[in-house]
Amino acid sequence: MRKPEAAGTLTRADLADVVHREIGLSRAESATIVERILHHMCHGLSEGQNVKISGFGSFILRDKGERIGRNPKTGVEVPIAPRRVLTFRASQIMRERIARAG
């Protein structure tokens, strides 16, 4: 895996490359594993389940009710429809690792 730059992005291809190098599966099998994991996470979230990965963090669904917002240009009040949002909460281990890296 290439060394991430300060503003770099870790991609699916990078994850598949790590699986290929660390586990020794073929590149195609490694990519398939990464895709299947992401698919299962997305499917669970779309079904209303939260996703918790121990030592990493939790992807949490939250329903937000309707509220009144304001157009910043005109100042006109507009209703914001109820919606479901996805949030991520890093685990304590992850927060400590990020703090040490900074």
Tell me the per-residue pLDDT of 42-58, one tens digit each, with 9 for 90 and over: 999 999 999 999 999 99
Tell me the per-residue pLDDT of 66-95, one tens digit each, with 9 for 90 and over: 999 999 999 999 999 999 999 999 999 999
pLDDT at 3 over 70: no
pLDDT at 37 over 60: yes
d(CA 4, CA 22): 18
Asked if 80 and 66 touch (Cβ cutoff 8 Å), the reply is yes
> For 50-102, CATH number?
4.10.520.10
What spatial distance separates the first Cα and last Cα of the chain, rounded to whole Å?
21
- Give the per-residue pLDDT at 8: 87
Q: Which of 62, 64, 63, 19 is nearest to 38 (CA)?
A: 19
Domain boundaries, the chain: 7-47, 50-102
Confidence of residue 6 (pLDDT cuts 50, 70, 90): low
Question: Which amino acid is residue 37, in one-letter code?
Answer: I
Confidence of residue 101 (pLDDT cuts 50, 70, 90): confident
